[in-house]
Every structure is written in structure tokens, then in C-alpha cells.
Structure 1
Amino acid sequence: MNRNACYHIVVNDRFDERWLHWFEGHTVDYRDNGTTLIVLTDVDQPALFGIINRIRDLGLELISVQKDDLR
């Protein structure tokens, strides 16, 4: 059974402001350590992989992906 979940994605460096529209509907937080946290809420696997592909296409370094099940 496919369930939606919340994902926390961390990438190295800050996003260019021009890229924010690609992550509309999600939370983007610039952290003090120079990384960017993207919080995806209530997304399925295809949406997650779409975001990961976008991160790759932008040439950003993916540091981590953490899943939190929605209950």
C-alpha cells in the first residue's frame, strides 16, 4: 500500500532564489551551517523522486533524505 509521508531533504549550499518556484508548496529553510533543508509534506514516492531529480538537475549535492511517516 502506498502511503504519503513527510521527507526532510538536506542539500549542500544555498538555493539560488530563482530556483524556489520549483519547490513551491514545500518548505525551504537556509541553515546556519550553509546547507538548505527542504521539507516535503504529504508526498508520495513519485513526487519524492521528482524533487530528487530536480536537485540532481540543478547540480546540488544531496546530503541526506529522511522519511517521517504521516499518521
Structure 2
Amino acid sequence: MTRHAGPGEPAAYTLRVAGHLDPHWAPALGGLALTHDDDGATSLSGVVADQAELHGLLARIRDLGVTLLSVAIVDQT
């Protein structure tokens, strides 16, 4: 059975945005690992402390003016 983290628990996420972000944005995006995908998108991966931090990351992505393609919690089993 898969168990997902609750709202106050750390969880691993992968967020995808349109375009290739420059790696210098990683610290501003919670230190998530940035990977340039072959389809022209950027994947941001790593552990997010809680839902508040996730919402902060989403706000920073919005403020960058890039298109958010997806947000997925990654099963850590």
C-alpha cells in the first residue's frame, strides 16, 4: 500500500515547467535539482518540507512567469 505524506510532513516532489530554467534559479526554488528535459521543459525534483513550502515554491514559479506543467508527489517506497 502506498502512503503519501500528510500536509505537515516532508515529501518528494517533481514539478515540471515549460522552458529550460537556468541552474542559477535552484537556490531560489528551495534547492531542488533542475533537470533539462528533452521536450524543452525543466523538471525540479527534491524533498519539500511541508505544504507551506510547496505553496511557496509554486508562488516563486508563478513570479518567474514560467508555465507550470505538472506537480507530482513521488512515491518514496
CA deviation after TM superposition for structure 1 residue 40, in Å: 2.5
Task: Extract unaligned runs of 5+ from structure 1.
Answer: none
Q: Which runs of 5+ in 2 are unaligned?
A: 1-5
TM-score (norm 1): 0.82
1:9·1:65 contact (CA, 8 Å) conserved in 2?
Answer: yes
Q: Percent identity?
A: 32
RMSD, matched Cα: 1.9
Q: Which structure 2 residues correspond to residues 1-71 of structure 1 after superposition, within 5 A?
A: 2-70=8-76
Aligned pair count reads 71
**CA offsets per residue over residues 2-26 of structure 1, 9 Å max, x none?**
2211111000001134423312522
Q: Which has the higher contact order (CA 8 A, sep 6+)?
A: 1
Structure 2 length normalisation: TM-score?
A: 0.77
